[in-house]
Amino acid sequence: MPNELWDELPRPLREFFCLYAKGEYFDAHEVLEDFWLEEGRDPLLQALIQVAVAYYHYEAGNVAGSRALFTSALGYLERAEESRRRLRPLPSETPTTAPDDARAPHPYGLRIPDIVRAISELLPHLPDVRRLPLEEVQKAPLPKVEFSPGGVPCASFCTS
């Protein structure tokens, strides 16, 4: 992702991405919640929050809660994709640079279909139980849904 796109992202979103990349899921969700409210409860932001909380629940052994949140995130992502054309692009992301046929901007440089695909591929990895002991969670980590604004993993812009 060009540095300018990262720099144009709202600060709470950059903080969310960095905390999420470090596996600090609860803190990531906390930092994004106020921004989500300020942005009118944007369904994309709600989905990002739910993905972070889903990982938090999984790490605590709450598999059923994790599954419910990942599934709910898919619904919010569907709503976000439907309304995507109404969202304004960042200055460096003009409609002509959007990679789909509609040339609609991708909010915050995120390709919603990529996130949907990653969650859909992750769901079968969740054990078919309500709870897992913590030692079992540690033996069976979930694949990580990567957020890549502008096509570049956000972790590459986050320093410790």
| pLDDT value, residue 140 | 87
| pLDDT value, residue 86 | 58
pLDDT digit string, tens, across residues 120-131: 999 999 999 999
| pLDDT value, residue 150 | 82
Q: Which regions of the chain are under pLDDT 50? A: 1, 90, 95-103
| pLDDT value, residue 52 | 98
| pLDDT value, residue 99 | 46
| pLDDT value, residue 42 | 93
Domains of the chain by start residue, with CATH: 3-157 (1.10.3450.10)
pTM of this prediction? 0.85
Residue 156 main-chain phi, psi, to 5 deg:
-70, -15
